[in-house]
Amino acid sequence: MPLIRSAMTYVPSSGDAAMVRSMGPARHPLVVIGQNQRRLPQKIDTSVDLTSNRFGCETGYSARSETRHEICAGHGKDVFVLRYRIKVWGPFDLLEPGGRSIRPTVRKSCALLAMLALSDGHRQSRKWLQAQLWSESEGPQGASSLRQELARLKRILGTAIQSDKIDIWLEGNRFEFDHLSGLAQPPHEDLLQGLDIADDAFDDWLREQRQYFANRPEATADFAPPTRPPQPGLLLAPAANPVQATHCTVVFDRQDKGNPVASVASLILSERLHQKLDQYGIFRCLGVDEAPAIGSNGPITPSENTVVVRIVSIAQSDDIYLGVQMDSGVLGRRFWLKSAVVPADITRIHVAPEIGRMVGQVVENLLDGLAFGGLPVGSTAEALILANEAKKLTFRLDRESLSKADQYLTRAYELEPRGEFLAWRGFLRNTAFFQHRNDDIFADPVSSEELSLEALRQAPENGIVQAFSSQLDYVNQGSTVEPMIKAQRAVEIDPSDPLARALLSNSLTFNGHLTEGYAVAQQAIDLAKGGAYEFYFHHFAAMAATALRNYDTALRHARSSVAFVPEFVSPRRYEVVLAHQLGDQSGVDIAVSAMRRVEPDFRVKTMLEPSYPVNTLRRLPIIEAIQ
Structural domain boundaries of the chain? 1-80+229-244, 84-222, 248-369
Contact yes or no for 528/537 (Cβ under 8 A)? yes
Residue 566 neighbours by CB distance under 10 Å:
13
Distance from the Cα of residue 454 to its chain's centroid: 17
Strand ranges (DSSP E) for 130-247? 161-163, 167-170, 175-177
Cα dihedral: 539, 544, 548, 554 (round 10):
-10
* CA atoms 423, 427, 428, 429: torsion sign: positive
C-alpha to C-alpha distance for 215 and 225, rounded to whole angstroms: 21
Mean pLDDT, consecutive 10-residue stretches, the chain (627 aa), reads 29 32 30 31 34 31 33 36 84 88 93 91 86 81 89 89 89 86 75 89 83 59 32 28 57 83 88 85 74 43 66 86 75 63 85 86 76 54 85 89 92 88 92 84 88 89 88 69 86 89 89 91 89 89 92 92 87 90 89 87 84 79 76
C-alpha to C-alpha distance for 367 and 386, rounded to whole angstroms: 10
At 357 the pLDDT is 86
Contact yes or no for 528/508 (Cβ under 8 A)? no
C-alpha to C-alpha distance for 551 and 576, rounded to whole angstroms: 12
User: Smallest Cα–Cα separation from 63: which of 156, 151, 148?
Assistant: 156
Q: What three-state secondary structure class fits 280?
A: coil
pTM: predicted TM-score of the whole model, two decimal places: 0.58
Secondary-structure class of domain 248-369 per CATH: alpha beta
CB-neighbour burial class of residue 12 (10 A; exposed 0-12, middle 13-18, buried 19+): buried
In sequence order, which residues have a C-beta less than 8 Å from that of residue 47 and are 6 or more positions away?
Answer: none
C-alpha radius of gyration, the chain, whole number: 28
At 342 the pLDDT is 86
At 336 the pLDDT is 64
At 76 the pLDDT is 37
